[in-house]
């Protein structure tokens, strides 16, 4: 899903009942730190920029190889190219383990969202069919009533 460069998120948007003036409100500014976004911020914070480059590589490689291989390749390339090199070199095993876990969790959440969307869509279609069937029955009843009224 394409995210804007920045957006304001409100706690009250998650409330079950919408209210004009919530008793408790929290606003946060969410910045898109994916590679290629918020260039001004990335230029001011080298570590954040390099982290975005690392994550982008993992995602790119994960599209065509196993996640373990994708993470290993991204880490190796980043070290070689001076991207988070000191950190990745000294924390290599932990970075790889955490990256694999995080990617798998992200992928699992995506699968759950897709499954829930599909289920909701199927329910909506089923309800639409049921509604359509009810409308057809009502239409038949109306026709029979009109026919009886004409014959009286």
Domain spans of the chain, in order of start:
1-14+23-44, 45-142
Q: What are phi and psi of 5, to 5 degrees?
A: -55, -40
Paired with 7 in beta bridges are 30
Q: Which positions of the chain have pLDDT values less than 70?
A: 1, 124-134, 151-152
Reported in sequence order, the residue ranges of the chain that DSSP labels E, i.e. its strands, are: 6-10, 27-31
Q: Is the whole-model pTM more than 0.75? A: no
Q: What is the DSSP letter of 12?
A: G
Q: What is the dihedral of CA 29, 33, 36, 37, to 10 degrees?
A: 0
pLDDT value, residue 132: 67
pLDDT value, residue 46: 94
């Amino acid at each position: 899903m394409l995210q804007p460069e920045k957006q304001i998120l409100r706690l009250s948007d998650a409330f079950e009942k919408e209210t004009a003036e919530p008793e408790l409100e929290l606003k946060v500014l969410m910045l898109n730190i994916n590679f290629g976004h918020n260039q001004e911020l990335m230029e001011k914070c080298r570590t954040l920029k390099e982290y975005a480059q690392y994550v982008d590589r993992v995602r790119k490689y994960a599209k065509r190889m196993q996640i373990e291989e994708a993470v290993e390749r991204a880490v190796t390339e980043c070290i070689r190219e001076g991207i988070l090199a000191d950190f990745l070199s000294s924390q290599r095993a932990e970075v790889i383990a955490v990256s694999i876990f995080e990617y798998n969790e992200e992928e699992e959440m995506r699968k759950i969202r897709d499954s829930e969307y599909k289920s909701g869509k199927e329910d909506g279609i089923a309800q639409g069919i049921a509604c359509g069937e009810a409308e057809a029955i009502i239409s038949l009843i109306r026709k029979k009533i009109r026919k009886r009224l004409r014959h009286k």
